[in-house]
Amino acid sequence: MRKTVRFEELNTADLRASGFDKVILPIGSCESHGDHLPFGIDAFIAHDLALAVAARVPRTMVLPPIWYGMSLHYRHQPMSVSVTNDTNIAVYRDVLDSVIHWGLRKILVINGHDGNIPCMEVAAQDIKLKHQDVGLAVLGAWWTAGLAMLPKEMWQNYQGYGHGGEAETSVAMAVVPELVDPARARGMVDDKDVYVKEFWNYEELTGYGASGLGTAATREKGERFKRALVDHLVAFLARKDEQGWIIPKREA
């Protein structure tokens, strides 16, 4: 049997011998992140996190990343290759249905792109209603989760946020350093309401393909960010296995 957690590298005999009972699905997008990051960085990061988690969690397989997401709101800069919300929901639903059909009933999704969040929420809810005994969890916004785990004083600008900003560029430097050129980063920051969600197309937030301060990124910050996320997800999966992939409840 091949010693790999990557589904695309396995064959039928490998899979039967593997004993996998958990699967991680990374999802991303293909769109501009400015002049300093590759178009596919969202999928690169989600896939890298998935592989790092699976390397530490027994019986966990990683699916190939879904490279295309709902990126129509990012198409003011060359170049966005996108699917619609309806297509995105259908693809997620079909992929999840497929792995469940083959007996994988413990599923973690790692999402790398904001436009995928509502699509995955719809697909996941549909799947959970159809397959009530399936354990399904989604890390919808790794950037928000990681920034909440790390000290605020790590970040020089915009609290680390941004599309191709300080945090994302730092993580990219830890994941695909050969594809990152932070010296070419340019970004703007916006002033959205904290409580009321405003809907936007990206040209309303920045004149570039990026926001935030990518020039403040470092590989050290990215490695620390990745470590915090991976540690959390490893602990999460271990806890879910102990709990039988149910949500514990108690009297109020």
pLDDT cut 90: percent of the chain above it? 96
Q: How confident is the model at residue 153 (pLDDT cuts 50, 70, 90)?
A: very high
**pLDDT of 188 higher than 80:** yes
Length of the chain: 252
Average pLDDT in the chain: 96
Whole-prediction pTM value?
0.96
Confidence band for 103, pLDDT divided at 50, 70 and 90: very high
Banded model confidence at residue 194, pLDDT cuts 50, 70, 90: confident
Instruction: Please tell me the distance from the alpha carbon of residue 28 to that of residue 46, in angstroms, as a whole number.
Output: 7
Specify the pLDDT at position 1: 59
Establish whether the linkage from the previous residue to 70 is cis, with ω within 30° of 0. Answer: no
Is 12 a residue whose pLDDT tops 80?
yes
248 phi and psi angles, rounded to 5 deg = -60, 145
Residue 36 predicted with pLDDT over 70: yes
Helix (H) or strand (E) holding 100: helix 85-101
pLDDT of residue 144: 97
Token reading at 245: 């992939």
Output the six-digit token pair for 94. 């079909």
Q: What is the mean pLDDT of residues 111-128?
A: 98
- Domains annotated on the chain, with CATH: 7-155+227-243 (3.40.50.10310)
Identity (one letter) of the amino acid at 133?
D
What is the rounded end-to-end Cα distance, in angstroms, of the chain? 49
By CB atoms closer than 10 A (0-12, 13-18, 19+), residue 175 is: buried
Q: What is the mean pLDDT of residues 25-53?
A: 98
The mean pLDDT of 30-54, rounded to a whole number, is 98
| Residues 175 and 219 sit within 8 Å (Cβ to Cβ) | no
Per-residue pLDDT tens for 44-93? 999 999 999 999 999 999 999 999 999 999 999 999 999 999 999 999 99
- Residue 2 clears pLDDT 90, i.e. is over it: no
